[in-house]
Amino acid sequence: MDSSKFVELMLDLHNKYGNALGINDVYAYSALGRVIKAVGTVIISPNSPMLLAKAPRSISMYLLGNGSVLALTDLPISVEALRNCVGERVEVTNDLYKPPSTLVAINATKCQDAIYRVVKDVGRKYGINLEVWLTSELGMEGVKVVYRGGIKDLKHLVRLVILMTALTNVRGNGNVDSVFKLIGDLMRKY
147-162 tens-digit pLDDT: 999 999 999 999 999 9
Quote the pLDDT of residue 138: 62
Quote the pLDDT of residue 174: 61
Q: Hey, what amino acid is at 7?
A: V
Quote the pLDDT of residue 80: 77
Query: Would you say the pTM of this structure is higher than 0.85?
Result: yes
Tens digits of pLDDT across the chain (190 residues)? 999 999 999 999 999 999 999 999 999 999 999 999 999 999 999 999 999 988 999 999 999 999 999 999 999 887 777 778 899 999 998 898 888 888 889 999 988 878 888 899 999 999 999 999 998 776 678 899 999 999 999 999 999 999 999 999 987 656 788 999 999 999 999 9
Quote the pLDDT of residue 142: 87
Quote the pLDDT of residue 60: 96
Quote the pLDDT of residue 171: 74
